[in-house]
Amino acid sequence: MQFPTNLAAQGYQALRPATQPTEGTAGVAETIRSAATSFQDTLAQAEKVSIASMTGDADPHSLVQALTQAELAVETAVTVRNKVVEAYQEILRMPI
């Protein structure tokens, strides 16, 4: 069975936009930057609430909530770091 090359070229041109990045999407660097900024903001907020709690200006509920958010942020960062290291080690084990 023969396919006309014209049909194959049309199919390729129809699917090509799906592989192109769309306008307005953040790149990898921007995504990492926003995640790091969010992580930093979470830790700074937890530190502020902790200091306020030590001076008696914050209630225990807000302290527990801020510390839980900070703990979750740190656990997420450690998990991502571990996955990156694991992927790097896997790349190093690949034969050349």
90 pLDDT above the threshold of 70: yes
What CA–CA distance (Å, rounded) separates 12 from 5? Answer: 11
What CA–CA distance (Å, rounded) separates 38 from 61? Answer: 22
24 pLDDT above the threshold of 80: no
Give the pLDDT of residue 57. Answer: 87
Query: Domain extents for the chain?
Result: 26-93
47: amino acid identity, one letter: E
DSSP state of 23: T
Higher pLDDT, 12 or 74: 74
